[in-house]
Amino acid sequence: MRHTSAVRRVVAIVLAAAAGGALAAPTTAVTSRPALRLAEPSPLMFNGTGFRASEHVRVVATAGKRATHWVTAGARGRFAVRFRGMSADACRGLTAVAIGDLGSRATYKRAPGECPSP
């Protein structure tokens, strides 16, 4: 009898640990959606997150004029891109689109008159 109760206890512990691991696994496996965020208004700079690791990304920004830069996302799917000579300070419309060669896509839009807070 002693053997049976000890085995039951071990089985209960193993099952509890397996259930806890199964519940925790989906939260760590979820990937974030690609996003593009204005990091600096002058010179214009964007941060990209949620892209695939090592993905080549074309970023097109329009703020009075239009410019294109190519960047490579890091191991965590992040990148930063700066557009020298461009500024978002004029309170005019601003758009940026980031399209990765592995299918990731993110957009940033600011309508005219929506100035960034100081």
**H or E segment and range at residue 28:** helix 2-29
Task: Measure the CA–CA gap between 102 and 107, rounded to whole angstroms.
Answer: 16
pLDDT of 29 reads: 40
Task: Measure the CA–CA gap between 6 and 13, rounded to whole angstroms.
Answer: 11
97 has pLDDT over 90: yes
Among the ranges 5-9, 28-32, 68-72, which has the highest mean pLDDT value? Answer: 68-72
22 has pLDDT over 60: no
Kindly indicate the confidence band of residue 17, based on its pLDDT and cuts at 50, 70 and 90: low
25 has pLDDT over 90: no
Instruction: Show me where the domains of the chain are located.
Output: 1-30, 35-110
> How does the average pLDDT of the chain come out, rounded?
82
pLDDT of 111 reads: 83
35-110 to CATH, choices 2.60.40.10, 3.40.50.1820, 2.60.40.790, 3.40.50.300: 2.60.40.10
